[in-house]
Homo-oligomer: A and B are copies of this chain.
């Protein structure tokens, strides 16, 4: 195996429940090529990892590079990771148990592979190349179909003793709340992720409250089906209705922002970071109003000393946070141990 180097191109991959994104990043940290594929998790672990390899090859082809030109591959996966071993312990979104992702991929592509949790890597990406540049201690929270997070303290990613750190979405903010599908009550994710927003909206509409949302959905999809609301109502529908001043949608989205802020207030009391970065599909779609409510909730529920110098900002990298964070992970690992060849 050739020697690895920080100036050689690096491939970053974000493996999600619905899509795989692979990019090629130069030594100057510029994305020079990208390739997207659908994940198709129903086809099983082996097929999904095959699609990851295809996405990597697709991005390299577009960049007119060979696999050997790349120093290493970083990949973000949706679940707790043993980063040293390159193993994902479980990925419910993919239907996976324990998988030795780094070993398997490295065997297939002949390059070192480094593995990280997806929202941990999004946070790392925002720190190194996005909203958190110049900051040492940062908490990232990403609100979408689920809610995930990441923590960096004094420049170091906190992965936890078994790779599960940063599981912000499973913090309990209403211990006597309704049971979520995790079996736990009143977690931030069960109360504030997109499915919770949609459930609140559907309940209001069924109760006779007026909303532009059914009409918006009908126009675009032909039919409004409350039973399928969770798949029908994407973040962009929410954003359209929100911007149109729809009261039902505003209340549900604002509640999500407030409850995310409550979870973050607890996090700020525990960790006292310099910055909180808020991103993910819902936040990207709604933008500033969402982040403002999050910030207000944090400030109203923490000590002045804990929030006086705190910055609360919107994520800057959008869908690229994960792949850029995966590249950051590679750069950090190679910088720590220049002779390190990853797992494989």
Contacts and interface: CB of A to CB of B under 8 A. Distances in A.
Interface of A: 80, 89-90, 136-137, 149, 151, 153-154, 156, 158-168, 170-176, 184, 186, 259, 262, 265-267, 269-274, 300-303, 305-306, 308-310
Contact of A164 (B163, B262, B306): B306
Copies of this subunit: 2
A161 B270 contact: no
30 contacts: A80-B303, A89-B305, A137-B160, A137-B161, A149-B270, A153-B153, A159-B272, A160-B271, A160-B272, A160-B273, A161-B273, A162-B306, A162-B309, A164-B269, A164-B272, A164-B303, A164-B306, A165-B270, A165-B271, A165-B272, A170-B266, A172-B301, A173-B174, A174-B175, A174-B186, A175-B259, A184-B300, A184-B301, A266-B266, A270-B270
A175 B186 CA distance: 10
Contact of A270 (B89, B166, B176): B166
A228 B299 CA distance: 34
A303 B167 contact: yes
Nearest to A160: B272
Given A162-B306, A165-B271, A303-B80, A176 B175 contact: no
Contacts of A165: 270-272
Nearest to A303: B164
Given A80-B306, A266-B266, A172 B170 contact: no
A167 B272 CA distance: 9
B270 A171 contact: yes
Contacts of A174: 173-176, 186
A24 to B, nearest CB: 32
A336 to B, nearest CB: 14
Nearest to A167: B269
